[in-house]
């Protein structure tokens, strides 16, 4: 498995608002046997996640998702009441608190089994962790060029920037006025016609509830910049060509239908191509009967359009039931590319430089420019 398989999902007509274009993804039939629910957490999105006995991190966690493969109607089992708050409970009084108290109970693990056939996971955390933890351990061989910190702590601390959907200009409005299609199970978010995120769920009812949660998700810095500086995108209204050959209403109707098909095709090849045609490295996180939760990393090839990290749930045929992606910026792709190459060369600078087709000095310069100077000895 190395590709995203979006069979069963067709692209609907896009809705444009300012610089944001939202393309609905429609399913003929919902995915059998899997539902997603939303859990809203207290504390304005501040939360702690406990990874191991002494590892924990502090993060922005507005909500979690609960995958439910028990097949019970609406996820409400007789013995296990659904553990979720009503939408909106996190918004307290209007005044801004000076300090946000951390919730007393940390989340245990990013993906945690719940009573019954349920799994709670923190959306996008899996994907971002996959990217941040890329060769996190540091040099595997203690070549003399690497600093002592690099050998002792690896890449820690490793930081990347992401932006809240609310701060992406125009996104909140575009989502608010978006008219959800019947049977809609997903959406592709384009900002200045660059694919910013893809979101797919198994069932239309889940989508209706989770649609608004997109504004609380994380978006890459590129998306934020495009939204801030980009101009409104063209609405590209349809044109019925060859009008002189239309002689009755039936032919006019056929011409209109052809426009709809043309758009769906154009979207899959032209707009979403970069997401669907890339081969990814999948990493299994959890298996739930016939469904599997994965996170994936792109190949970090440079100069090949946008690259997306993300997480997905696939069924036994490899078809996507749930998908959430995060677009990396060029700098982030560059960092991933460098780390991949250096690790592939056994952390030996000369071999890595040869693999990149450049000199050792150039590689050192590039690593420093990419923000990895702490890894290298200062004498270099």
Partner 1 sequence: MNTPDSRADLVAAEDVLLFVNAAITATGQREFRSSAVGQQLSLDFLHTYVRVNYRRVYAASLALDINHHNAALIVRRLLETADEASPEERRTEGRLIAARLAALPPQRVYRLFGELRRAKVNNRRTRAIMRGWLAARPDLGHDAVKYRAGVKTVARHIHLPCPEGAEPIAEIGAFLFRPGKLPRYEHPLLDAWRRAHYEQGAVAELPFTVAEGFAAKHGMKREVFLKRAAPRMTRLERLRTQEQRTVGDRRPDVDLTVMPLTRLALYVLSLGFEERSERRAELTGALRAAARRAAGAHAGSWGRVHAVLDDSFSSSGSGQKRRRPLAVALACHHLLEVLAAPGAYRGLWISGAGDALLVRPWGPTPLGMRILDALEPGADGAAPDRLVIVSDGWDNAPAGLAGEVLRVWRRRLDPARRTAVVHVNPVYDAQGFDVRRLAAGVATAGIRDAEDLPALVEIARFAEGRTGPAELYTYLDRQVARFTGEGAAS
269 binds partner 1 (CB under 8 A): no
Instruction: Using CB under 8 A, count the residues that bind partner 1.
Output: 30
What region, left, alpha or beta, does residue 218 occupy, with left being phi > 0 and alpha being psi -120 to 50 degrees? beta
Q: Give dist(CA 191, CA 358) in Å, integer.
A: 35
- Among 207, 193, 242, which residue's Cα sits nearest to residue 26? 207
Residue 16 engages partner 1 in binding (rule: CB under 8 A): yes
Minimum CB–partner distance for residue 233 and partner 1 (Å): 12
Query: Which residue, 60 or 87, is less far from partner 1 as judged by CB?
Result: 87
Window contacting partner 1 (CB under 8 A); options: 124-132, 244-252, 271-279, 359-367: 244-252
Contact at 8 Å (CB) between 285 and 295? yes
Residues 6+ apart with CB under 8 A from 237: none
Selected binder of partner 1 within 15, 192, 213, 278 (CB under 8 A): 15
Q: Each residue of 94-122: b (16+ CB within 10 Å) or e?
A: eeeeeeeeeeeeebeebbbeeeebbbbbb
> Does position 260 bind partner 1 by CB under 8 A?
yes
Least Å from the CB of residue 16 to partner 1: 7
Is 207 near partner 1 (CB under 8 A)? no
Q: Does 102 bind partner 1 (CB under 8 A)?
A: no
Span near partner 1 by CB under 8 A; candidates 28-36, 81-89, 217-225, 254-262? 254-262
**What is the footprint of partner 1 within residues 221-240 (CB under 8 A)?**
235-240
Nearest-angstrom CA–CA distance, 193 and 181: 21
Examine residue 247 and tell whether it contacts partner 1 (CB under 8 A): yes
Q: Does the footprint of partner 1 cover residue 212 (CB under 8 A)?
A: no
What b/e string do you get for 333-364 counting C-beta neighbours within 10 Å, with b at 16 or more?
bbbbbbbbbbbebebebeebbeebeeeeeebb
- CA distances 344 to 147, 330, 336, Å, are 19, 21, 12
79: tokens are: 């013995």
Q: Answer whether 235's CB lies under 8 Å from 362's CB.
A: no
Q: Report in angstroms how near the CB of residue 234 gets to partner 1 at its nearest.
A: 10
Residue 180 lies near partner 1 (rule: CB under 8 A): yes
Q: Would you say 56 and 106 are in contact if contact means Cβ atoms under 8 Å apart?
A: yes
Q: Does position 253 bind partner 1 by CB under 8 A?
A: yes
Using CB under 8 A as the binding rule, whether residue 146 contacts partner 1 is answered as no
Q: Tokens for 301?
A: 């090839």
369 contacts partner 1 (rule: CB under 8 A): no
The minimum distance between CB 94 and partner 1, in angstroms, equals: 16
* Nearer of residues 16 and 218 to partner 1, judged by Cβ: 16
Binding site for partner 1 (CB under 8 A): 12-16, 24, 177, 179-182, 235-240, 243-244, 246-249, 252-253, 255-256, 259-260, 263
């Amino acid at each position: 498995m190395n590709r995203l398989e979006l069979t069963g999902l067709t692209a609907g007509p896009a809705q444009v608002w300012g610089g944001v274009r939202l393309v609905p993804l429609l399913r003929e039939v919902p995915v059998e046997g899997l539902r997603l629910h939303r859990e809203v957490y207290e504390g304005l999105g501040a939360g702690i996640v406990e990874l191991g006995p002494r590892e924990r991190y502090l993060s922005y966690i507005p909500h979690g998702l609960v995958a439910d493969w028990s097949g019970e109607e609406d996820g409400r089992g007789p013995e296990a009441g659904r553990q979720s708050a009503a939408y909106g409970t996190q918004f307290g009084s209007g005044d801004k608190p000076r300090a946000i108290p951390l919730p007393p109970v940390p989340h245990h693990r990013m993906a945690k089994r719940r009573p019954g056939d349920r799994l709670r996971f923190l959306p996008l955390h899996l994907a971002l962790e996959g990217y941040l933890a890329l060769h996190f351990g540091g040099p595997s061989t203690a070549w003399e060029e690497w600093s002592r910190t690099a050998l002792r702590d690896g890449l820690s601390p490793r930081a990347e920037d992401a932006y809240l959907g609310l701060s992406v200009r125009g996104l909140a409005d575009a989502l608010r006025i978006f008219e959800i299609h019947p049977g809609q199970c997903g959406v592709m978010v384009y900002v200045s016609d660059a694919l910013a995120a893809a979101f797919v769920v198994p069932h239309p009812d889940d989508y209706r509830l989770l649609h608004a949660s997109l504004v609380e998700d994380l978006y890459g810095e590129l998306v934020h910049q495009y939204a801030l500086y980009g101009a409104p995108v063209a609405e590209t209204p349809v044109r019925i060509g060859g009008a002189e050959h239309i002689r009755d209403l039936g032919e006019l109707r056929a011409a209109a239908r052809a426009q709809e098909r043309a758009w769906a095709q154009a979207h899959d090849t032209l707009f979403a191509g970069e997401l669907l045609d890339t081969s990814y490295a999948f990493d299994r996180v959890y298996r739930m009967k016939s469904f599997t939760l994965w996170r994936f990393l792109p190949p970090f090839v440079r100069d090949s359009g946008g690259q997306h990290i993300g997480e997905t749930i696939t069924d036994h045929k490899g078809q996507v039931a749930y998908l959430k992606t995060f677009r990396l910026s060029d700098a982030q792709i560059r960092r991933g590319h460098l780390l991949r190459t250096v690790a592939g060369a056994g952390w030996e600078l000369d071999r890595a430089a040869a693999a990149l087709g450049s000199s050792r000095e150039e590689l050192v310069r590039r690593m420093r420019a990419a923000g990895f100077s702490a890894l290298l000895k200062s004498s270099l």
